[in-house]
Structure 1
Amino acid sequence: SVNAVASTLLADPHCESALGVLPLGTLNHFAKDLNIPLTLDEAIANIATGRKLRVDSGEVNGAPFINNSSLGLYPDIVREREKQQARLGRGKWLAFTWAAMGALRRYPFLRVRLSIDGKEHWRRTPFVFIGNNEYLMSGLDIGKRSTLTDGQLSLYVCHRTGRLGLLRLALHALFGRLREAHDFDVLTCSEIHIETHKKRMRVATDGEVNLMQTPLHYRIRPASLTVIVPQVADPQAPSTSEPGLLDKLLGEN
């Protein structure tokens, strides 16, 4: 839902509206990475009192994303999860678990050619993950971003590994040694071209899966989206969390 609203704002290069985020999603990655409060009352107050910040967005073949995009295992899992939800009436997380188990049994590989900064890289991989700015890939902070304003895409590609290799990579990540893994590529760049023998393939953008024509062209769009984020903390400022603040902002007694 955040992507849908952000996409509307990004479609107009002259748009001056700012995006106010309410943390009503499943994981709220975008809100967390921008330090937006995760309680609804505080998030509403942030929209009223916060500051505007221009952040980056990513794009693949013209389709914007604010968190990440991926190929391979994850789009297959999401597609199967949606089938199970519709056909069997399973809850989202139960359907996701069964879909993930099925994908790991099949364990399909992609053969892709990555063109980055004038260099080509061939990879046979179960997944390709592209982030809007760099994701932390180690320890308990894995999957978080420290900034959305560096103007870079991050690329993560696992290769030459099977199911046990994925487990080994997970352990590397847990102990902060993922960048040392020989079967895992990590880099940042502003543009990525991805070619494959398939004419169309499933691509996930912020959790939504669509069929796209290949080749895929990823690029970063620096400072393309205005978001309302919390004010910079001032130790001398009075607390804004006193009882009744939200009521005052909403004009209620």
Structure 2
Amino acid sequence: MPVPPYDPASPLLFVINAAAGAHDVNAKRAVIESALAAHGRLGELLVCHPAELPRVAARAADAAMAWRSAVVAVGGDGSLNAVAQAAHTAGCAMGVVPYGTFNYFARTHGIPTDPAAAAQLLMNAKPQPVQVGAINDRVFLVNASLGIYPELLQDREAYKARFGRSRWVAFVAACATLLRAQRRLRLHIELGERVRDVQTLTLFVGNNRLQLEQLGADPRDTVAGTPGHGSMAALMLRPIGTRSMIGLLLHGAMGRLGEAAGVESFEFQHLVVRPRLLPGRREVMVAFDGEVSRMRAPIDFRVLDRPLYLLQALS
């Protein structure tokens, strides 16, 4: 796909998640308006609640394509996902002003985690292709999964609502989820011509090198290249006892998950997963970029041929 048309003088469209991050909407507006004023740029600020994000993002992406401009996600990874879905579908460029807890996507692609600095960077940036993945019909930027990881995300949101947003709160929530993990997934996996049946607590698919490196689980064996350069990484956690789970948590905390017993990892470009479901059930709980949803089986993970065009600083 050719680079989308982009006029650096055209108005930028900012999709602002009113619920993302610790800053209020007025503070987010001030950051963006200050950057626009400093560079003599025009912009349209679209503030919405999480439930409205897909609709507002789709409308903004269509306008950005017509104006030879870009749609900018202002929020955390979930907000970025909604805007990326719209931008990828419309074929327009996308920018990022991060307000999340971890901001893996922004950090991987050289976008400052300070919102003011990220907004300033947008003013002189140009679209560059970045790899995106898909889980069934949904785009994802950082990761997608099924099994215990979607449960972990739900627990993390509950802990954040009670104790506030921080990386320590997220870590404690993860520990609580893993230590009570019981349910096993029975999966039929198709990886090219290789077919196998496995039992696992979770199947985690990563499209972000920074997150995988921090976990210490960056596989390098099955596909030429590394995650984020033509392939993605899959991690499977085999069912283990409580004592082994504690050891796993310690390995993960030290960034050495790849060394832990019970963790299998591999790279791929296309992976089909058929969960063994209870009679009458056709859907499975999945997570992608921090969002939790239900999808109809089978679950299809793949690297998309068409990239997302991200506004990045000129090199």
TM-score range relative to shorter protein: 0.7 to 0.9
Q: Partner residue of 1:202?
A: 285
Q: What is the deviation of 1:165?
A: 2.5
Paired residue type of 1:5: V
Q: What is the deviation of 1:67?
A: 0.6
Q: What is the deviation of 1:210?
A: 0.5
Q: Partner residue of 1:60?
A: 135
Q: What is the deviation of 1:101?
A: 1.9
Among candidates 110, 119, 138, match of residue 35 of structure 1: 110
CA distance in 2, matches of 1:225, 1:65: 11
Secondary structure, counterpart of 1:21 in structure 2: strand
Q: In 2, are the aligned partners of 1:55 and 1:223 still within 8 Å (CA)?
A: no
Paired residue type of 1:201: V
Q: In 2, are the aligned partners of 1:125 and 1:160 still within 8 Å (CA)?
A: yes
Q: Partner residue of 1:71?
A: 146
Q: In 2, are the aligned partners of 1:81 and 1:92 still within 8 Å (CA)?
A: no
The 5 A counterparts of 1:154-193 are: 154-172=233-251, 178-179=257-258, 181=260, 183-193=262-272
Q: In 1, are the aligned partners of 2:251 and 2:260 still within 8 Å (CA)?
A: yes
- 1:192-245: per-residue Cα shift (whole Å, max 9, x none)? 11111222111001010001111101111145200012232xxxxxxxxxxxxx
Q: What is the number of equivalent residue pairs in this alignment? A: 226
Identity of aligned residues (%): 28
Q: CA RMSD in A?
A: 3.2
Give the TM-score normalised by the residue count of structure 2: 0.62
CA distance in 2, matches of 1:104, 1:64: 30
Check if 1:220 corresponds to 2:285.
no
CA distance in 2, matches of 1:104, 1:151: 34
Q: Partner residue of 1:109?
A: 184
Paired residue type of 2:121: N
Paired residue type of 1:227: L
Check if 1:229 corresponds to 2:306.
no
CA distance in 1, matches of 2:215, 2:177: 28
Q: In 2, are the aligned partners of 1:71 and 1:203 still within 8 Å (CA)?
A: yes
Paired residue type of 2:179: L
**Greater relative contact order: 1 or 2 (C-alpha under 8 angstroms, separation 6 or more)?**
1
Q: In 2, are the aligned partners of 1:55 and 1:148 still within 8 Å (CA)?
A: no
Q: Partner residue of 1:20?
A: 95
Report the structure, 1 or 2, having the larger helix content: 2
Q: Structure 1: any 5+ residue segments left out of the alignment?
A: 233-253
Give the TM-score normalised by the residue count of structure 1: 0.75
